[in-house]
A = this chain, B = another copy of it.
Amino acid sequence: MLLAGTVVADPTTVYEDGAVVVADDRIAAVGERSEVADTYPDHPVREFDLLAPGLVGGHVHSVQSLGRGIADDTALLEWLFDHVLPMEASLDEREMRIAAELGYLELLESGTTTAIDHLSVDHADAAFEAAIDLGIRGRMGKVLMDKRAPEGLEEDTDAALEETERLLQTYHGAADERIRYAVTPRFAVSCTEACLRGARDIADRYEGVRIHTHASENTDEIETVREDTGMRNIAWLDEVGLTGEDVVLAHCVHTTEREREILATTGTHVTYCPSSNMKLASGIAPIVDYLDRGITVALGNDGPPCNNTLDQFTEMRQASLLQKVERLDPEVTPARAVFEMATLGGARAAGFEEVGALREGWRADVIALDTDLTRATPLPDPLSHLVFSAHGDDVTFTMVDGTVVYDEAFGGLQTGDGDRIRRRAREVAAELHE
């Protein structure tokens, strides 16, 4: 298939009249349309306004989707323990499947093709199956909580780690490597030392597995960890093995100089979640400093109860604007830096090779956007448009690994029934509400 349009191939490469050729699950060619079309004269052509690499959601809670709008205007720990975790605990396997489908549907419709997804304690199979079926690229894992967990979510440490290994053996590498496992402790507040060290042990015993957890989002969280361990949160995570090139830490809002050095020297990846950090009043992460230190920064929406959407375009805009006002410097985090977080940075953190840009031989994760819109008029710079003006609503076409998963011209979701997913989600959410 030859996809034609203005092509933003990566943060520094734009072909105004470009084309992307997809063969099987790979990009066979990308460049100026005149050159590409000559080399691939027999491919069927689809015309689009603007083509870009699929975005990477660097920290998502797909299975919290049924809690959109349930707990606005509350702080992290109350929000988590009084609202979000009880909701997660109440979901049975069927409901977890519906929640995950709703999350993946929103991501795929709005141009996110890869998600680092923090599931729940129970029924993780349902989310893995949903990800396999709907066609998203996922780095995902069951949550571990073996202390300070609300009723219904606290686990025995060994049982939790055994369940992690069962899931890992079942799903890691599934769907032609589209699905990969992340060992996923909730956060240091809710995990014993044995649990955290057990997570590291599992990650070391399997090729290509990652560790994904929350870290230093909130000052109360940091204080709780200090009371438990006598250490700052990231120093503690480092102590028990949860730093390194295979680790993704969401948030990292409040970090000391020494903790930042740990992140940089260990090659630990950080996911910036600006809207979530703003809405929960957690604080502003020192992202410019992290970038200056060479830390890989991904970008995440977090979950619908704290965002309240999974639109990564909203998050790109927010990522830039929040750093500019925090630093009182309008030149920091320009469009290209933020677009890199949402594509190549996210893919690096997620541990997917040849993902995050439109390059010959790379995985065919491609999105197309409509720009025949007032909000896109005029459009002097496609990167500026993608970061500061575009909405996920503009996405008309989403391809993951060479498969068209969403196509507005052919009824929307191609890998499931979008109307049915929304209808069932409304029904379940109404029951939960009662």
Q: Does A46 contact B (CB under 8 A)?
A: no
- Given A311-B375, A380-B433, A74 and B331 contact (CB-CB distance below 8 Å): yes
Whole-angstrom distance between the Cβ of A401 and the nearest chain B Cβ: 22
Is the beta-carbon distance between A425 and B378 smaller than 8 angstroms?
yes
B278 and A309 contact, CB distance less than 8 A: no
- A381-B69 contact given A311-B375, A393-B391, CB 8 Å threshold: yes
CB neighbours of A258 from chain B (8 A): none
Asked if A375 and B106 make an inter-chain contact with CB atoms under 8 angstroms apart, the answer reads: yes
A67–B179 CA distance with the chains assembled, in angstroms: 43
In whole angstroms, what is the CA distance A79 to B317 when docked? Answer: 19
- In the complex the two chains form, is A284's CB within 8 Å of B325's CB? yes
Known: A278-B321, A322-B278, A325-B282. Is A374-B418 also a contact (CB below 8 A)?
Answer: yes
Specify which chain B residues have a CB less than 8 angstroms from the CB of A284 in the assembled complex.
Answer: 325
Beyond A389-B308, A391-B391, whether A69 also contacts B378 by CB under 8 A is yes
- The answer to the question of A291 belonging to the interface, with a C-beta cut-off of 8 Å to chain B, is no
CA gap between A335 and B72 in the complex, in Å: 8
Chain B residues with CB below 8 A from A281, complex form: 324-325, 327-330
Task: Count contacts on A: residues with CB < 8 A to the other chain.
Answer: 68
Instruction: Tell me, yes or no, whether A362 is within 8 Å of chain B by CB.
Output: no
A349 beta carbon closer than 8 Å to chain B = no
Q: Are A378 and B330 interface neighbours, CB within 8 A?
A: no
Interface residues of A in 312-356 (CB under 8 A from B): 314, 317-318, 320-322, 324-325, 327-331, 334-335
User: Is A147 an interface residue, CB under 8 A from the partner?
Assistant: no
Beta-carbon contact of B380 and A429 below 8 Å: yes
Inter-subunit contact B334/A72 (CB<8 Å) = yes
CB distance from A285 to the nearest CB of B (A): 11
| CA gap between A331 and B320 in the complex, in Å | 24
Whole-angstrom distance between the Cβ of A300 and the nearest chain B Cβ: 15
Asked if A277 lies at the interface with its beta carbon under 8 angstroms from chain B, I say: yes
The complex places the Cα of A74 from the Cα of B331 at a distance, in Å, of 6
Q: Is the CB of B330 within 8 A of A73?
A: yes
Instruction: List B contacts of A373 (CB < 8 A).
Output: 422
Query: Does A1 sit at the interface, judged by CB under 8 A?
Result: no
Chain B residues, Cβ within 8 Å of A70 = 380
Name the one of B68, B327, B335 contacting A377, with C-beta atoms under 8 angstroms. Answer: B68
**Closest CB of chain B to A326's CB: distance in Å?**
9
Contact yes or no, A384 B429, CB < 8 A: no
Within 8 A of B (CB), among A106-121: 106, 109-110
Closest residue of chain B to A426 (Cβ to Cβ) is: B378
A75 to chain B, nearest CB (A): 5
Bound state CA distance, A320 and B306, in angstroms? Answer: 13
User: What are 12 A-B contacts defined by CB distance under 8 Å?
Assistant: A68-B378, A68-B389, A69-B385, A73-B330, A73-B335, A79-B330, A278-B322, A279-B320, A281-B330, A378-B425, A378-B426, A378-B430
